[in-house]
Amino acid sequence: MTSSPESACAIGVDLGGTKIETALVNANGDIAEKRRTPTEAKQGPDHVVAIIASMVRTHYLRDARHPVGTIGVGVAGQVDPVTGVVRRAPNLDWLDFPFRERLEAALGLPVAVLNDVQAIAYGECRRGVGQGIKDLVCLFAGTGVGGGVVIGGELVRGVSGNAGEIGHMTIEQDGIPCTCGNRGCLETFVGGWAIALRAQKRAAAEPHTALLRLAGGKAAGITAKLVGQAAAQGDALARALVEETGAALGVGLAAIANALNPELLILGGGIVEGLPGLVEIAERELRRRALAAALKPLRVVRSKLGADAGVIGAALFARETRGRKIAGVAP
Amino acid sequence: MTSSPESACAIGVDLGGTKIETALVNANGDIAEKRRTPTEAKQGPDHVVAIIASMVRTHYLRDARHPVGTIGVGVAGQVDPVTGVVRRAPNLDWLDFPFRERLEAALGLPVAVLNDVQAIAYGECRRGVGQGIKDLVCLFAGTGVGGGVVIGGELVRGVSGNAGEIGHMTIEQDGIPCTCGNRGCLETFVGGWAIALRAQKRAAAEPHTALLRLAGGKAAGITAKLVGQAAAQGDALARALVEETGAALGVGLAAIANALNPELLILGGGIVEGLPGLVEIAERELRRRALAAALKPLRVVRSKLGADAGVIGAALFARETRGRKIAGVAP
C-alpha cells in the first residue's frame, strides 16, 4: 500500500548518548506508538545506525495501517544543516559522521537530521505550547543549557547547524569557566552541573542546612535535584540558590527578548521542572531588565510536550522540510 | 508615465532626531540622488510628515525618468511591524504616532516603516558587504549600540518591531546602569557614552595622559572620539580603554555567534570607525569565547555602505515587501 505524503506518518527519533527514543507520529503530530532502547554508543556510529534501522523496520515499516513517508532524527550534537553530517556529538563520541546518508541507505527512506534541542523547539512550535506562534525561543536547562529559535514560523538552524546555543551566551564577562571553554556563560549559572558546584561550595560552609543532610552529610554528593528538594522543604540555602539561578536565567532571557523580540519564551528541562519557583523568579528578573517594547507582547511559559517534544518535533520537521525540498525541485 | 514595479525606483528615508536623509534608489540599490534636511522634530510629528512629503514631491516625484513605486522609512525608534505606527522614538519625541498612515495619505504612495538600524542591516544584506548571505547580524556602535538580524535572507523584525537590540544584551550581570534601565548591557561597555564615562573617570586619576591633554586638561571634556585619537597617538590609557572596549564587544559577538550561528557579523558606526584596532580586538575575543562550531564558517567584517546603508536598506525593504504583500493577496 502506498500513500500520499499528506497522509503518511513520519518517524521521530531522539538520539541521545544513553538512549534512543523512536515514535510513529501522524500528520497531526500525535504519537501512535513510542519505543526506547539503549544507544550502545561505544560500539560506534554504524552500530547505532543499525539499531535505529532495525527498530524502524521491525516496529513501524511493517504496519500497512500507518504508511511511513520520512524519518526525522534529533541528535545531541552539532549537525550540518545541508548534508546531515553529524559534525560533533560528544555524548555519542561521533565526529564528522555522515549520519543522514547512512540511515537513508539502510532504510531507503528520506531522513532529516537536526540538533535535539532544535527538534524540541520545533515540536513545541508546531504542536506544543507554541502552536500558531511565529517567533519563539525555547530554553531547556538540564545538566547543560540548550535552546532552539523559531523565527517567522521557521526553525533557525544557523549556517553550520549550531543556532540556539543560548546556554553559552555570556552573562558575566569574567565569570567561572564553562564546559564550552568560555567564561560566565548562562550555563555556568543555570546548568545542573553549575548549580551543584555552587551548592557544594556553599553547603560546605553552612553545615547545618537541610541540603547537606539530604546529601547524607557529604557536600560532594549535592546535586541540582537535591537543591530543588531542599528548596521545596524550605531550606534557606537551597532557596537562595534557586533565587540566584532564577535571576541569572532572567538575565539570559532578557538578552534573548531584546535581541530577538519573540512572542513566546518556552522553558523546560529537569532544572526548570525541579527547582520550585524558578520560572517565576526568572520572569520577574526578565521583566526588570528587558526593554519595555520587547516585554509588552512577551509571554513566558513552560514546555507542554515534555519528553515527547523531541520525537514529535523531529518527525514533523522531516515531514515539513521534505515537502519543501520536493516543492523546490524543478520537475 | 507609468512603469512596472520591477523597474520603478523606491525612495529611502533615514529619519533621525536631527536630520532627515532621502535618496532615490533604483532597483539595483544604486542611489540616483540624495538629499538632507533638518528634522525640526520640535514642531511635532505632523510637521515632520509634511517635510518628508514636500521633499519627496519636490525632488523625486516630478522626474518622469525615474518613476517612484514606493517609499521606505527607517526611523530611530520602535516601529510596529504590522501597522507602521511608531510606538516610541525618544529622539523625535514621538509616542504611538501612525506614521505610515499619515505619510501614505500625504503622498498617495505605499510606505513601509521600519527601525533605522534594521534598515541598515537590510541594506548591507541586499547591496552591501552581506550581499548573497542568508544569515547575518549587523552591530552598529555610536553613542548607543543597535543592531539588525537577518535570518534566511529575511529581516527579523520581532513581534513588536524591536528585534536587533543586541546592545542591550547583558554581559555583566551586576554591571553599571544602562540608559535602558538594565545593568551591564553590551552598550555600557561599547556605547560612546559609556566609553567617555569610563575614560573620564580613569583620566582624572592619571593626569599625565595624552588623552587628558587632548581634552584641554578637563576630564569631563573627554569623548569616545578623543579616546580614539589618543589611542592612535599611542597613549597608553586610551589604548587600554580601546582594548577593554574591544574585549567587551567580543563577548557580545560570541553570544550572538552562539545563539544565532550567522555566517557574517557586520560592524559599523562611529565607535567601530573611530577606535583603532577595535574590530581586530573584538574578533580575537570572539574567537576565544564562541563555540568552535559557530566560529568555523563565521566572518567579521566592517560595514561597506557606510552612511548610505540606511536609505538604501529602507528603499529596498519597501520595494521587496511591497511585492510580497501584493503576491500574498488573492486576486
Mean pLDDT of the region A37-62 = 94
pLDDT of residue B4: 53
Question: Which residue out of B243, B261, B324 would a mutagenesis test of the A interface target, given it has the greatest number of A Cβ atoms within 10 Å?
Answer: B261
Q: Which of A134, A162, A294 sits opposite B261 (nearest CB)?
A: A162
How many C-beta neighbours within 10 Å does residue A220 have? 9
Cα of A173 to nearest chain B Cα, Å: 6
Buried b (16+ CB within 10 A) or exposed e, A47-64: ebbbbbbebbeeebbeee
- Closest-CA residue to A98 (of A81, A82, A84): A84
Confidence of residue B246 (pLDDT cuts 50, 70, 90): very high
pLDDT at A331 over 50: no
Residue B300 touches partner A, C-beta closer than 8 Å: no
**Per-chain mean pLDDT for chain A:** 93
pLDDT at B5 over 90: no
Mark yes or no for CB contact B261/A152 under 8 Å: no
Mean pLDDT of the region B88-114 = 95
pTM: 0.93
Look up residue B34 and give its three cell numbers: 540624495
What domains sit in chain B, N to C, each tagged with a CATH number?
9-123+307-328 (3.30.420.40), 133-303 (3.30.420.40)
Confidence of residue A327 (pLDDT cuts 50, 70, 90): very low
Q: Which of A161, A169, A289 sits opposite B258 (nearest CB)?
A: A169
Closest alpha carbon within chain B to A253: B169
Written in H, E and C, the secondary structure of chain A is CCCCCCCCEEEEEEECCCEEEEEEECCCCCEEEEEEEECCHHHCHHHHHHHHHHHHHHHCCCCCCCCEEEEEEEECCEECCCCCCEEEECCCCEEEECHHHHHHHHHCCCEEEEEHHHHHHHHHHHHCCCCCCCCEEEEEECCCEEEEEEECCEECCCCCCCCCCHHHCECECCCCECCCCCECECHHHHCHHHHHHHHHHHHHHCCCCHHHHHCCCCHHHCCHHHHHHHHHCCCHHHHHHHHHHHHHHHHHHHHHHHHHCCCEEEEECHHHHHCCCHHHHHHHHHHHHCCHHHHCCCEEEECCCHHHHHHHHHHHHHHHHHHHHHHHCCC
Q: Are the CB atoms for A294 and A258 separated by under 8 Å? A: yes
pLDDT at B331 over 70: no
Q: How many alpha carbons lie under 13 Å from residue B180 in its C-beta half-sphere? A: 29
**Pairing assessment for the beta strands B31-38 and B19-25 based on DSSP bridges:** antiparallel
Percent of chain B past pLDDT 70, that is, above it, reads: 95
Mark yes or no for CB contact A258/B290 under 8 Å: no
Distance (Å, whole) CA A184 – CA A168:
8
pLDDT of residue B114: 96
pLDDT of residue B323: 53
Residue B284 touches partner A, C-beta closer than 8 Å: no
Closest alpha carbon within chain B to A182: B289
Q: Which of A157, A182, A298 sits opposite B289 (nearest CB)?
A: A182
Confidence of residue A326 (pLDDT cuts 50, 70, 90): very low
CB contacts < 8 Å between A and B, how many?
162
- Closest-CA residue to B69 (of B316, B309, B313): B316
Look up residue B260 and give its three cell numbers: 544565532
Q: E-strand spans in chain A?
A: 9-15, 19-25, 31-38, 68-75, 78-79, 86-89, 94-97, 111-115, 136-141, 145-151, 154-155, 264-268, 299-302
Mark yes or no for CB contact B172/A168 under 8 Å: no
Asked which of A5-19, A273-287, A314-328, B269-283 is least confident by mean pLDDT, the reply is: A314-328
A162-219: pLDDT as tens digits: 999 999 999 999 999 999 999 999 999 999 999 999 999 999 888 889 999 999 999 9
Distance (Å, whole) CA A29 – CA B257:
32
Q: Are the CB atoms for A135 and A263 separated by under 8 Å? A: yes
Q: Are the CB atoms for A92 and A47 separated by under 8 Å? A: no
Q: Are the CB atoms for B51 and B35 separated by under 8 Å? A: no
Mark yes or no for CB contact B164/A259 under 8 Å: yes
Mean pLDDT of the region B219-231 = 97
Helix (H/G/I), strand (E/B), else coil: B65: coil
Question: Which residue out of B94, B183, B251 would a mutagenesis test of the A interface target, given it has the greatest number of A Cβ atoms within 10 Å?
Answer: B251
Mark yes or no for CB contact B258/A289 under 8 Å: no
Confidence of residue A64 (pLDDT cuts 50, 70, 90): confident
- For residue B297, list chain A residues with Cβ-Cβ distance below 8 A: 159-160
pLDDT of residue B42: 95
Any residues with CB less than 8 A from the CB of B40 and at least 6 apart, and which? B47, B48, B51
pLDDT of residue A322: 81
Confidence of residue A328 (pLDDT cuts 50, 70, 90): very low
Distance (Å, whole) CA B315 – CA B123:
9
pLDDT of residue B64: 79
CA-based angle B297:A97:B300, to the nearest 5?
5
Confidence of residue B66 (pLDDT cuts 50, 70, 90): confident
Residue A132 touches partner B, C-beta closer than 8 Å: no
pLDDT of residue A116: 94
Residue B95 touches partner A, C-beta closer than 8 Å: no
B150-206: pLDDT as tens digits: 999 999 999 999 999 999 999 999 999 999 999 999 999 999 999 999 999 999 888
Mark yes or no for CB contact A261/B163 under 8 Å: yes
| Residue scoring higher pLDDT (B3 or B268) | B268
ipTM of the complex: 0.93
Mean pLDDT of the region A235-249 = 97
Distance (Å, whole) CA A313 – CA A123:
3
Helix (H/G/I), strand (E/B), else coil: B155: strand
Mark yes or no for CB contact B165/A261 under 8 Å: yes
**Per-chain mean pLDDT for chain B:** 93
